Structure 1
Amino acid sequence: MAKRVIFTDAEIATPDDFTNIGVFARADAQTLAGGAVGYPNAWARFTISQTSAIQLSINPGALFQDDVFYTSTSAMPVNLQAYLPLVSNDQKWVALLVRGAHQTDLDNRMFETDVASGATVQQQTPVADELFVQIVVQDGLPSPTPLKPSIAASDCCLAFVLLTATGIAQIVSGEGWRLKTLFEVEGRVTVLEAEFSDIEQRTSTLETDIANIAGQLKSIPRIELMRQIQTNLCNLNVAVKLPAVARAYWEDLGLFDADWDTTNASWLARIWTGVRFPWASITNNQLSLLTAGDPLLTITNKLALPAWTEKTRISVEGADGYKDISQQVHSIVTAVENTVARTSVSYGPTINVCTNAAGFAAVAGTEVGQTFTANGQTYVNDGLSSGTGSSLGAGNIIHPDINFSAWNSDPTTANHRIYAVQELQIDSWTETYWSYVTNTYGVNGSIYGQTFLNSQATIATSVDLYFTRVDATGGDVHLFLCETTATGEPNWSAALANVTVPCGTLHTGWNKFPFTPTLLDPGKLYAWFTVTVGNHALATVNDNKYAQGSLFWSTDGKWAQGDPTNDFAFRLNAASFATTRTVVNFQPLALENGMTEIKLLYGGWAPGGTSLVWEILPVGSSTWSTLIPKGDTNPLVGLPPLCQLRATFVGTTDLMPAILLDTNARAWAGRMQGSMTAPSKQQAFGYSSSSVTVVTTVDNFDGNLHTFTNKLLLASGAIVTPSVTSTAVDPNKSTRVTFTSTFALGAPQTSAAVMPCATTSTVVKVPFVQDILMFAA
């Protein structure tokens, strides 16, 4: 005790002297409690017993608050009936709080009233000053799954009690507020000291090991180099088409869905030159004219051209002799007619170039199947033959201001041209006619024909033949326009047009054989040939008057025999256009709740020196916008629900672009969803690994609008989030960001699936995954 009361013999003690005995003792006890214990709010020695379904008994204990401590000397009952939840299925947590209180105890004592007589009187007077404990119940919220009430920093919680409608269900001690005894602290310190000694020994060993490792670091390749090697190996595997076996590294360019689990319940994406956000809504209608039979167009077998008249382009006149065109052995010839190649135009603020398109070179140009699919008809560009490039002038397929990208000159894609820039993508083919969607005709009869050189680009419309004899007994005449082989022979499998003229309409003299307008490339040798069983004769000219071709016949429908001196008399007629510019309105594009993308798919051609310019007029706008990115705000940013559509044909009096308005001519309008989740299929590592790295390149990424997260999906179905993710911005393109995520799998795994996830706050600007790699350590 720092201070004590001293009494001496014969001293008359005063009441304060006796009071100080307690005051000094309490002061010393509080000094000890505050200096040695020092808990701001802690309880000690309390125990709780349940005396009934709704009542508890709190056995004696103490409360320490800094240098003051409060005690209870007897058990305190707590009745919780008033706190029981009213709904039978509800539960509730309540907290028992220990709070200190101060009171002065009073009692009756005898007081002397007269010193002389010694008379006394009984009076009530303070006899003790007490610091005691109170128990306060803090109520919680009832719920089928209740939460514990939060405790204020100034309170001390003795216990949490779970209540049901029938009474007390559980008592949980407030260990976080319990005062730990010196014995407990000593035990914990002893354990820590032992562990510290062990750590000290291990640290000494580690210092030696680290020093040895530091000496070997220069001989260890950098992780960046190893990752580059792994990336190159992934690309090489794709390029040389190595068999799919278990590997510790995997890459996907988002070109095909073979490695993506599109049937997974979490799948919310699409694969199209990258991993893209899915459609929220899309319409797919036939591309058709606003006014059927528009007089500004001439439509032949659904091929639409600006209105034209006919003029003769090649004329071989004369009647030096004749040739019976049915005198050879009748044979069955199978003519394969090629069809007009397709063009796809995609436009909108959510159209973005994916630089992984070169990945298609490894699989023979399968991109056609990705882009050109309509009404169940898929066009595959597998092994497309070399084209001349004349039918699509570079830079003029859509507009003179557009230039084709380096993709056009890639030798691995010689016949597939792609022009792609921000907000616009155009896919087209350099051959006017392709052999991947064909019509086959089997005809019987003798085969005669004529080859001819087309010196300039021509839209052929008919061939005139001079008949010197017509068999009145019958025999329709079938005429085919076809390409020739490299040796100058007719190519029966590359017919471009055909027409049948009934025998009853034939007469001696010139007879017209009209067919669907057909674009002929300049500088190419073409042929026409007839097949008939009728005893007809055609006029010929001799002495090689027409030196740019040869008369020929075939006896077996396979091989053609040429005549070096004679030619058939014929005229090749072509379209002549009255105007060099024609504007035509098409049916508008509509999508409920607005569109962010449009796509047009149609057959047709656009020869060099011509262009076909598409324009849209969104509802509410007064200005037509061409489907050409100008750098300003895209007209589809406002999510228009309706857009008028028109096309401008620009050309010359001899050449014009054309559109094939068949059922496969389509007009799409679409809008993206606001989130993307794309789980891949499980990729086997070939061994067990507990650490995986995923590197994802995300293009068109804006951190203010978008979020992106790499995740892993284990074979068990568990989803793993990365331990750490770093980002790197492409120095050549600020919107291309690489996310490198490291995953700690815990238990070793033999396989995993990547699951990139992204969100956007606006559907008019969405990111997409350009490529993704996974490496197992």
Structure 2
Amino acid sequence: MTKVVHFSEAEVAESSDWENASLYAREGDEAIVGGAIGYPHHWAGHSISQTSAIEIAINPGALFTGGIVYRNEEPISVNLQLYLPLVTGDRRYVALLLRGEEKTEQESRLFEVDADTEETVERMTPKTGLRQIVCVVQQGLTSPTPVKPVVAADQCCLGFVELSTTGIVAIEMDNARRVKTLYELVIANTTIAAALLTTGWNKFSIRPSPLESGKRYAWFTVTTGNHALETVSGNKFAQGSQFHVTDGAWAQGSTTVDFAMRLNAASFASTRTVVEFQPLILENGMTDIRLLHAGWTLGGTAMTWEIRPSDADEWRPLNDTIGERTPLAGLPPLVRLRAVFTGTTDLQPAIILDAYARGMTFRPRGDMQAVSIEHQFGLSSQTIQVEAVIDQYDPQKHTVSPKLIVGGTVLTPTTCVITPDLVSDKKKTWLATYLLGAPATSARVRLDMTTTEVTDIPFIQNIAYYAL
């Protein structure tokens, strides 16, 4: 709190004095929440439990909106009956939005109405001011493959609930809008055993991390022993301040004392660095390369992966194309790989070569089978049609064969009509009709395709099937 209410002996206190005592305490909380925490529309402490097939309970927690905190002391019950899809097979996502509201609760109190007789009467009077949480449901569109509704930036989304015609399917918390603790926001951390601590300089080795210019960063220590850090006076470190935290929330800065500290930062001999890695190999040639690694490329820097196939004389960017030909168009079995880092002598991109970093090579097969899941028609029929749109199709290289799977039987079409696209000569539509020997209520589709060149393959743009 930055303000307090003082009382003197024998003073007759006014009602506003007692009111201010509460208001000043709230203002102190708002100053900390708004100035030091500052989450615009986030939640903390909540969880969601399913109480029935169509009801959920939002357990107690808090809502942070700038400098104001709202809280619900009791679970909030939400009935989702009105949001269930109506068509069998459809599903829908709903978003649970938390909003704050202010409420004043009244209580019965005795009021003096006659000073001489001290007569009193009982009245209801405003007594407790509450900042509480309410839940608003935002629904998405129904679909066999539903998507989550888009939540506005000025709303706090607690989570999403997936619904079917019979009730709740799944509950997913929106952790992007959860208030993070100080520990979760620290960029890196390390631990030194007590036996390794010495008088003098102690080196805390942490993993390399990017620190952007123009931003303020904090570091802190936690110990369960009787340890202390050396301090200096006279504002030795002008670009930072020492803070004391005693309760995990409130921090008090010092204007005279700083910790004795040094920061190790990377420096570079050149503004451009080239690092060549072991070559990538795939027997009989490759058409695709996938590189998996962590790292960063900050503003003003750039990192480019370059390759040099075994039959090439120059290095080319991995994502480079000349016309429609990629650097891997010739199916090279071996490719040299290098990374080019560009920046300044103080700031460069970085990649992390840990146990998860790897390079992978791929090449498509000359044939494929795509099998759908089984779909219910909702009726019984002996006539089924499959419609498939195939793009990048070349009849000189490719074949397409639509099939229908009923039970365990694979059926070829009774008739099949191929229709050219009016815009693209590489796109065609297959309409296959199947006349079944017995009525069916469900089926799967299988699409078989082949190519004579693995560097030139068609793809399925769209496929659908109908029971007539």
Q: How does the TM-score come out when normalised to structure 1?
A: 0.35
Q: CA 1:736–1:602 in 2, change beyond 3 Å: closer, same or farther?
A: farther
Does structure 1 residue 611 correspond to structure 2 residue 302?
A: yes
Q: CA 1:617–1:692 in 2, change beyond 3 Å: closer, same or farther?
A: same
Instruction: Name 1:575's counterpart in structure 2.
Output: 266
Shift in Å at residue 547 of structure 1? 8.3
Instruction: Name 2:70's counterpart in structure 1.
Output: none
| SS of residue paired to 1:528 | coil
Q: CA 1:522–1:702 in 2, change beyond 3 Å: closer, same or farther?
A: farther
Indicate the larger mover: 537-546 or 747-756: 537-546
- Aligned counterparts of 1:382 and 1:649: Cα–Cα separation in 2: 39
Letter in 1 for 2:258: F
Does structure 1 residue 658 correspond to structure 2 residue 350?
A: yes
The question of whether the paired residues in 1 share the 8 Å contact of 2:321 and 2:327 is answered with no
Does structure 1 residue 713 correspond to structure 2 residue 405?
A: yes
Instruction: Name 1:642's counterpart in structure 2.
Output: 334
Instruction: Name 1:684's counterpart in structure 2.
Output: 376
Instruction: Name 2:282's counterpart in structure 1.
Output: 591
Does structure 1 residue 551 correspond to structure 2 residue 243?
A: yes
Q: CA 1:717–1:536 in 2, change beyond 3 Å: closer, same or farther?
A: same
Q: How far does the alpha carbon of each residue in 1:110-167 deviate from its partner, in whole angstroms, 9 at most, with x for none?
A: xxxxxxxxxxxxxxxxxxxxxxxxxxxxxxxxxxxxxxxxxxxxxxxxxxxxxxxxxx
Matches within 5 A, 1:468-547: 491-501=182-192, 504=196, 506-508=198-200, 511-532=202-223, 533-539=225-231
Q: How far does the alpha carbon of each residue in 1:343-379 deviate from its partner, in whole angstroms, 9 at most, with x for none?
A: xxxxxxxxxxxxxxxx896599xxxxxxxxxxxxxxx
Instruction: Name 1:385's counterpart in structure 2.
Output: 176
- Aligned counterparts of 1:637 and 1:624: Cα–Cα separation in 2: 15
Q: How far does the alpha carbon of each residue in 1:25-69 deviate from its partner, in whole angstroms, 9 at most, with x for none?
A: xxxxxxxxxxxxxxxxxxxxxxxxxxxxxxxxxxxxxxxxxxxxx
Does structure 1 residue 562 correspond to structure 2 residue 245?
A: no
Q: CA 1:243–1:540 in 2, change beyond 3 Å: closer, same or farther?
A: farther
The question of whether the paired residues in 1 share the 8 Å contact of 2:308 and 2:315 is answered with yes
- Aligned counterparts of 2:234 and 2:175: Cα–Cα separation in 1: 39
The question of whether the paired residues in 1 share the 8 Å contact of 2:277 and 2:337 is answered with yes
Matches within 5 A, 1:98-177: none
The question of whether the paired residues in 1 share the 8 Å contact of 2:402 and 2:412 is answered with no
Shift in Å at residue 583 of structure 1? 0.9
Aligned length: 307
Shift in Å at residue 590 of structure 1? 1.0
Q: CA 1:683–1:669 in 2, change beyond 3 Å: closer, same or farther?
A: same
Instruction: Name 1:744's counterpart in structure 2.
Output: 435
Q: How far does the alpha carbon of each residue in 1:663-712 deviate from its partner, in whole angstroms, 9 at most, with x for none?
A: 21111112211111122232111210222232323343333322223221
Instruction: Name 2:45's counterpart in structure 1.
Output: none
Letter in 1 for 2:210: L
Q: CA 1:385–1:702 in 2, change beyond 3 Å: closer, same or farther?
A: farther
Structure number with greater CO (CA < 8 Å, separation at least 6) is 1
The question of whether the paired residues in 1 share the 8 Å contact of 2:403 and 2:410 is answered with no
Shift in Å at residue 748 of structure 1? 2.1
Q: CA 1:686–1:361 in 2, change beyond 3 Å: closer, same or farther?
A: closer
| SS of residue paired to 1:385 | helix
Instruction: Name 2:363's counterpart in structure 1.
Output: 671
- Aligned counterparts of 1:705 and 1:507: Cα–Cα separation in 2: 75
The question of whether the paired residues in 2 share the 8 Å contact of 1:611 and 1:649 is answered with yes
Q: CA 1:522–1:745 in 2, change beyond 3 Å: closer, same or farther?
A: farther
The question of whether the paired residues in 1 share the 8 Å contact of 2:416 and 2:430 is answered with no
Shift in Å at residue 775 of structure 1? 2.2
- Aligned counterparts of 2:414 and 2:182: Cα–Cα separation in 1: 61
Q: CA 1:746–1:549 in 2, change beyond 3 Å: closer, same or farther?
A: farther
- Aligned counterparts of 1:361 and 1:653: Cα–Cα separation in 2: 46
Letter in 2 for 1:636: L
Q: CA 1:383–1:666 in 2, change beyond 3 Å: closer, same or farther?
A: farther
Match of residue 754, structure 1, among 439, 445, 451: 445
The question of whether the paired residues in 2 share the 8 Å contact of 1:682 and 1:715 is answered with no
Shift in Å at residue 382 of structure 1? 9.0
Shift in Å at residue 755 of structure 1? 0.7
Instruction: Name 2:17's counterpart in structure 1.
Output: none
CA RMSD of aligned residues (A): 3.7
Q: CA 1:538–1:589 in 2, change beyond 3 Å: closer, same or farther?
A: same
Letter in 2 for 1:638: G
Q: How far does the alpha carbon of each residue in 1:613-645 deviate from its partner, in whole angstroms, 9 at most, with x for none?
A: 112222232222211232332232222211111
Letter in 1 for 2:289: I
- Aligned counterparts of 2:269 and 2:430: Cα–Cα separation in 1: 58
Shift in Å at residue 774 of structure 1? 2.0
Listed as ranges, the gaps of 5+ residues in structure 2 are 1-82, 91-144, 151-171
- Aligned counterparts of 2:286 and 2:426: Cα–Cα separation in 1: 23
Structure whose alpha-carbon radius of gyration is higher: 1
Does structure 1 residue 600 correspond to structure 2 residue 291?
A: yes
- Aligned counterparts of 2:239 and 2:228: Cα–Cα separation in 1: 25
- Aligned counterparts of 2:298 and 2:392: Cα–Cα separation in 1: 34
Indicate the larger mover: 703-712 or 721-730: 721-730
- Aligned counterparts of 1:742 and 1:664: Cα–Cα separation in 2: 48
Letter in 1 for 2:413: T
- Aligned counterparts of 2:387 and 2:231: Cα–Cα separation in 1: 73
Shift in Å at residue 540 of structure 1? 5.8
| SS of residue paired to 2:226 | coil
Q: How does the TM-score come out when normalised to structure 2?
A: 0.57
Letter in 2 for 1:673: R
The question of whether the paired residues in 2 share the 8 Å contact of 1:710 and 1:754 is answered with yes
Match of residue 693, structure 1, among 349, 368, 385: 385
Identity %: 37
- Aligned counterparts of 1:641 and 1:382: Cα–Cα separation in 2: 46
The question of whether the paired residues in 2 share the 8 Å contact of 1:246 and 1:683 is answered with no
The question of whether the paired residues in 2 share the 8 Å contact of 1:730 and 1:738 is answered with no
Q: CA 1:531–1:775 in 2, change beyond 3 Å: closer, same or farther?
A: same
Listed as ranges, the gaps of 5+ residues in structure 1 are 1-239, 248-358, 365-380, 387-434, 436-484
Letter in 1 for 2:339: A
Shift in Å at residue 495 of structure 1? 3.4
Instruction: Name 2:395's counterpart in structure 1.
Output: 703
Shift in Å at residue 608 of structure 1? 2.2
Q: CA 1:360–1:627 in 2, change beyond 3 Å: closer, same or farther?
A: farther
Q: CA 1:735–1:530 in 2, change beyond 3 Å: closer, same or farther?
A: farther
Q: CA 1:737–1:385 in 2, change beyond 3 Å: closer, same or farther?
A: farther
Q: CA 1:771–1:544 in 2, change beyond 3 Å: closer, same or farther?
A: farther
- Aligned counterparts of 2:192 and 2:262: Cα–Cα separation in 1: 16
Shift in Å at residue 523 of structure 1? 5.0
Shift in Å at residue 584 of structure 1? 1.0
| SS of residue paired to 1:493 | helix
Letter in 2 for 1:649: F
Higher helix content, 1 or 2: 1
- Aligned counterparts of 1:494 and 1:243: Cα–Cα separation in 2: 43
- Aligned counterparts of 1:495 and 1:767: Cα–Cα separation in 2: 48
